[in-house]
Structure 1
Amino acid sequence: MKKTLLTLIQRLKAFLIRNFHQYNSKLPYIITVVVALIIVIGGINLFIELTEELKDNLLPQYDQAITDYIISFRNPTLTKYFIFITNVGDFYGYLIVLAISSVISFFVFKKWRGVVQTILVLLLASISNMMLKRFIDRARPGIEHLVSVETLSYPSGHAMSAMAFYGFVIYLFFRFKINRFLKVAIIIFMAFIILSIGLSRIYLGVHYPSDIAGGYIAGFIWVVFCILIFNLVEVFRRDPNT
């Protein structure tokens, strides 16, 4: 990622130098950040518009069919599991995971940057989720809720935060120089948590499947955006010409 960004910025610098007499060495970085922001905002808006179009057509039918299928498996054992896993995707769950991650980062990898970046990604996802919920204003499913909820439905905050938080953790572990099999096992486990958290919200009756899909997509957009920005900052810091 860093090499790709560096190549892109060097080409942008060359273009700006050729076409503009007054050249600012920071301009390529500013342009890259603006483009990244446009991609994120555009991607979210596009998905919202698509969802609004489908809301009056096929989407409710698919939501109902998938929800009916999932809740048909309700039993005491699965209910206990999904209540537990949905708590993993809540505030205290992330607090525990962050505490464990901080200990590992300090004693094993001797780095704090990854933990700080993960917290930032989670905060951005959480704040934007609240804004999206208010903008779309979709009510919760009118079926039995197995857990209490207070906010609006679309997109799912649990799904969005899970994708942003655990998705970024997957990226960090992908970069770590550790045993390959251990790395693959951790990544698969994290992906399983993301999937389980989203599924739990449908099973517990508090979200439509489309809420989960929306949360996953919005969370993924934040992961990609933050990865780009964090790597861009690192390239900027190491660039001797800035």
Structure 2
Amino acid sequence: MKNKSAVILCCVWFIAFLLSVFWVIQIKLDILPYIDRWTSEIVPLVHGSATYQFFRIITELGSSNVLIPIAIAAAAIFVLLYRHWYPALLLLAGSLFAHLLNVFIKQLVARERPSISVALNAEGFSFPSGHSMISMVCYGLIAYLLCKKIRSEKLTWTVQIVFGTLVCLIGVSRFFINVHYITDVIAGFTIGFAVLYAYIRLDKRIPDWRQK
């Protein structure tokens, strides 16, 4: 069952990656991807509504003003929980790398946002969504490091679902408040997941430092 789920997840990611590459080509050719043309009609429908206000609050959980303190606080907690500096380094290094990679790709693609807003942390280029990508890595590593210390399978699933839902909502919020196209969000999730997976694999390959 686990192997089957892993294969399905891998296939979904690969399709999303290929789509992201295709969208980059379209963007560089000044072609608006079809999915962005179709979904752009949804955004005006929620503007000013309760849904918009909900996502306006959720999006802050992926902003640097909130994410940095959360990452630092979580790193400090993991030092105490694991009695070692390594988990804190893994979390902070992974989050920083995701940020730097996001900036690099944004400069490379150079896509303009659907709208600019300083208040909504929406300045600079658009593709891929930094909130989607960095939240995936930061909250994903927090969930991973927490689950390593949890013995209950039900609690492990709960932690994964809660953090997974949070990351999804943060990414989707960027679309609904009209500071990113939906393709920016999907690409952010796709690249962010690859970075998260790479850091988890790195952790699994490092010898058991707790016994040193």
CA deviation digits over 1:36-80, x for unaligned, max 9?
Answer: xxxxxxx99966642234446996221122232244123343333
CA RMSD after TM alignment: 3.2
CA offsets, 1:182-239, max 9 Å, x none? 222221110111111111101111100000111111111111112222332327x79x
1:65-144 equivalent positions in 2, closer than 5 A: 65-141=38-114
Distance in 1 between residues matched to 2:42 and 2:170, nearest whole Å: 17
Tell me the equivalent position of 1:36. none
Report if the CA contact (8 A) 2:43-2:177 is conserved.
Answer: no
Contact 1:153 1:211 (C-alpha < 8 Å) held by counterparts: yes
Q: What SS does structure 1 have at the residue aligned with 2:137?
A: helix
Task: Give the CA deviation at 1:91.
Answer: 1.3
Letter in 2 for 1:50: F
**Helix, strand or coil at the partner of 1:202:** helix
Task: Give 2:127's aligned residue.
Answer: 154
Aligned pair 1:215/2:188, yes or no?
yes
Question: Which residue is 1:3 aligned to?
Answer: none
Which is greater in Rg? 1
How many pairs are equivalent?
A: 195
4+ runs deviating over 4 angstroms: 43-48, 54-59, 106-109, 142-146
Distance 2:115 2:61 in 1: 24
Name the residue aligned to 2:23.
Answer: 51
- Structure-1 separation of matches of 2:44 and 2:83: 45
TM-score (ref. length: structure 1): 0.68
Percent identity of paired positions between Structure 1 and Structure 2: 23
Q: Is the 8 A contact 1:145 1:206 kept in 2?
A: no
By how many angstroms is 1:113 displaced? 2.4
Q: Which runs of 5+ in 2 are unaligned?
A: 1-14
Q: Is the 8 A contact 1:154 1:214 kept in 2?
A: yes
- Structure 1: how far apart are the matches of 2:55 and 2:16? 28
Give TM-score scaled by structure 2 length.
Answer: 0.77
SS in 2 for 1:152: coil
Alpha-carbon distance in 2 for matches of 1:108, 1:142: 42
